[in-house]
Each structure stands twice: as C-alpha cells, then as structure tokens.
Amino acid sequence: MAKKKLSSSLSSFQMQMIALGGTIGVGLFLGSAAAIQWTGPSILISYILSGLILYIIMRALGEMMYLRPITGSFADFASDYIHPFAGFLTAWSNIFQWVMIGISEVIAIGQYLQFWWPKYPTWITSFIVVIFLALANLASVKVYGKLESWLSLIKVFTIIIMFILGMFVILFGFGNHDQAVGISNLWSHGGFFTGGFKGFMFSLSMVIASYQGIEILGITAGEADNAKESIIKSVRSIVFKVMILYVGAIFVILAIYPWNQMGNIGSPFVKTFSKVGITFAAGIINFVVLTAALSGCNSGVFSASRMMYTLAENGDLPKVFTKVSKRKIPYWPVVAIVVGILIGSLIPVFFKSAKDMFVLVFGASVLPGMIPWFVILISHLMFVRRHEEELVDHPFRLPGAPWINYVTLVILVMIVTFMFFNPETTASIMIGLGFEIVISGVYVIKYFLTEQ
C-alpha cells in the first residue's frame, strides 16, 4: 500500500534545528554532571568520540535517505534490508526512547518551574506544558518547525554566550578579580583520566545518550521541502555543530571549576555563569534549561508520533493511526504519545531523590535509543550490496565502509556492556533490555505463533 503523503514543508535549517532540539537537552545540561564524576576531564574525549560515532551513523543513514527520503526512514530500512522484525523492533524502540526522554524532560520542566512558583504541584505544570506541545504538534508541521527552531536557537545562543564569557574568565580573569583561571583544572585534580578506563567507558553511556535524537533527521526527511538537498546539508553539518557546542561548553566548565567540586545534582552551567559575576545566573540558566526541556519533549512528540504512523502503515498498529488531519498531521499518534508522557509525569510521586529519578528514567532510554543506530549500520551494509549500480554516482557515500560499520558496531556493544557493570546505570539498562524482550515477544506471538 502506498504511504500517505505527510506535509512537505520543513526546510534544511528547520530539519537541523529539530535535530539540535532533540539532541541538546537535559542530557547535556544535567546529565553531564554525573558523567564528569565518573571520568573527570577526560569526558571531553567522550564527547568527541561519541560525536565521531554519530557522524558515521548519520553518514550511513544519509547515504540511504538520499535514494529513499521517506518518513520513518530507518525503521523502513531495517524492514527492507534486514528483516521485518528489525523494523518492528526499531520503530517501537524509537517510540519507547522518546517517551522516556519526554517523561524525563517533563519531570524536569516541573522542577524548573518550581524555581519561580514553588507552591504549584509539578503535575499541574507538566500537564499544561504537554498540552501546549500537543497543540503545537497538531497545528501544522510548519508551526512545529518554527517553534522548534526558536527553542533550539535559545539553547545554542546561550551555550555560545557561556563559552565566550568562560573564555574571558580563563584568559583574562573576568569575574575572578582579573586573575586568569587558565586550564590547569583539566589535569590538577587527579589527572585527566581520573576514573581510568572503566570510568571513561561508564561516562560514554551518559555522553552518547546526550546525542540521542540526532537521528530524527531520518524521520523528518519525508516532510522536507527539498529532500535530497536538505539531507546532504543537514547530515554534513549537524553532528559537528552539536559536537562543537558540547565540547566547547564542557571545556569551559572543566577549566573554570575543578571537576571534583561539582555535585551530582544540578547543572554545572549555573556555577559557570555565577563564576563570571552574573548574580541572576540561576534564573538565566533555569529559563534556558526550561526551553531545553520544552524543545526535547517537543522533538520527542514529533519523532515518536511519526514512528507510530509508520507502524500503522505497515499494519503493526490499528489503521486509525494512519489518519491525517487536513494539515497532514497524524493526529492519533500525537495524542497517544502525549498521553504516554502525561502518565509518566506522575513518576516523581514514587521517588524521593531527584538524581535517582533522572538517572533511572533518562538512562532507560539508552539501549532503546541505540537500537536505531545498530540497525542503521547493519542496514547500510545490506543497502550497499543491493544498490551497487545506483551507488556508482552517489554524491554522499560513507567513507571507510564497510569496515567502519563493523568498528562502530563493536564500540556501541562495548558501551552497552559497561552499563551493566555501572551500579548507577544497571537498573536503567535492565529496564531498556526488559522492553526489548517484551516487544520481541509481542512480535513472535503475532507473526509466528498465531500463524501456526
């Protein structure tokens, strides 16, 4: 059956902003603190290595999308080039990943808003925010793209300003009685690799999770106004934009503050702005991380709803989820995802520790979030074999394939394995693994046991 045509109104700039919005969220603003405690200043290497891994994955995805720019692309690629089960697992993993990230973002929003209105219950603010995002997603793709672009620009602008001010502190002592801080904090408190190899591998799980969402380019492709040109522009630049922002921000933080003086709860960004003498730093950062959470949740609703649409088109969900509005929005998938996030926003009721809650919920998205990466790399191997003639003049080939695919797959497996040995992520990885087992069981029951 031919796929229904969704709206084609996203520009290359909006595609990049959507990917930035899904990537730059609480993983950077809050999750970086925990990762720094595990590995110290070498977290800079973690961000660079994770960025290179994601660049390889995105180049593989871009090469395939150039020939087939469709909504829900990597789930379709998994079905076509590996097995329908791979597509089924990928789509549901992506939905679970974004619902969990959305829940963590909404919970964070409730906490952020209490900074200004401490008497209001967090569930009320969470409800208002999610309804607002639902309306934005239901309005039109163009409205969603514009909203996401502005939210992403706020985050990017803040990180750039923080980097500039931080460099003034490092080089000229701005806000530090004209005493240049320098960069000795990168090695003066136990060395650069303070957690050793194990700590470095532990940090990779949280760091690479902060890059999750960048593959949303593969979901927006079907709704781009000039798909092939937008795909090339977006893939070539987005990973390096994110990497520069991440590495630059973390570099400034680690240079100004000794890594071992950072707590596990709260954002290191607040301390950095306070260091440069901005007395209302807490308010500024609170606003920025609020927009970051809004943006991340906004991207999550968009991404997960498109995956539900893809599943329904493939017959894995009721056909009601394929219905689109007059503005070409799959409205029932949007409603379903919003309801799931709203239910999850009640999680704080069962947790006393904000840190435990964040690590558990955000960490639970890591394994499901990696499933699309695994299938992109494997699908690409099959894609190259099947389309040898079409790839002769392809302008966007993945350098180093197929060996670079194998190396990247091995590194991803190592990152997941070390999550089982980190006491702070064991529960999270088990939740993700549990989901994968359950959804695999659903597929077996539906397509194997019922047919016999």
Taking only the tens place, the pLDDT of each residue in 5-19 is: 555 555 656 666 666
| pLDDT score recorded for residue 56 | 92
Residues in the chain: 452
pLDDT digits (tens, 9 = 90+) for 271-285: 666 666 655 666 777
Helix boundaries (H) for 68-121: 73-81, 84-113
On whether residue 46 sits in a domain, the answer given is yes
- High-pLDDT (> 90) share of the chain, %: 22
Q: Report, as an integer, the average pLDDT of 146-155.
A: 75
Q: Which residues pair with 127 in a beta bridge?
A: none
Higher pLDDT, 412 or 228: 412
Residue found by looking up tokens 């760091």 in the block: 207
* Confidence check: pLDDT of 25 > 60: yes
pLDDT digits (tens, 9 = 90+) for 241-252: 778 888 888 898
| pLDDT score recorded for residue 184 | 92
Where is average pLDDT lowest: 49-63, 183-197, 357-371? 357-371
| pLDDT score recorded for residue 4 | 47
| pLDDT score recorded for residue 3 | 47
> Closest Cα partner for 78 from 66, 67, 64, 99?
64
Where is average pLDDT lowest: 8-12, 60-64, 240-244, 311-315? 8-12
* Confidence check: pLDDT of 117 > 50: yes
Q: Ranked by mean pLDDT, which of 182-191, 210-219, 411-420 comes out on top?
A: 411-420
**Looking at residue 8, what DSSP letter applies?**
-
Q: What is the CATH number of the domain that holds 236?
A: 1.20.1740.10
Q: Per-residue confidence at 160, pLDDT binned at 50, 70, 90?
A: confident
On whether residue 1 sits in a domain, the answer given is no
Q: Report, as an integer, the average pLDDT of 209-228.
A: 66
On whether residue 280 sits in a domain, the answer given is yes
Mean pLDDT of the chain: 80
- High-pLDDT (> 70) share of the chain, %: 79
Q: In this structure, how many other beta carbons lie within 10 angstroms of the beta carbon of residue 406?
A: 12
Please tell me the pTM assigned to this model. 0.83
On whether residue 403 sits in a domain, the answer given is yes
* Confidence check: pLDDT of 82 > 90: yes
On whether residue 151 sits in a domain, the answer given is yes
* Confidence check: pLDDT of 267 > 90: no
| pLDDT score recorded for residue 437 | 96
| pLDDT score recorded for residue 331 | 85
On whether residue 320 sits in a domain, the answer given is yes
On whether residue 6 sits in a domain, the answer given is no
Structural domain count, the chain: 1
On whether residue 263 sits in a domain, the answer given is yes
pLDDT digits (tens, 9 = 90+) for 298-311: 777 887 888 898 88
Long-range contacts from 83-90, C-beta under 8 angstroms, 24+ separation: 84/314, 84/447, 85/440, 85/443, 85/447, 86/375, 86/378, 86/379, 87/314, 87/375, 88/311, 88/314, 88/316, 88/439, 88/443, 89/371, 89/375, 89/436, 89/439, 89/440, 89/443, 90/371, 90/372, 90/375
End-to-end alpha carbon distance in the chain: 25
* Domain assignment of residue 217, given as a range: 12-449
Q: Report, as an integer, the average pLDDT of 194-203.
A: 92
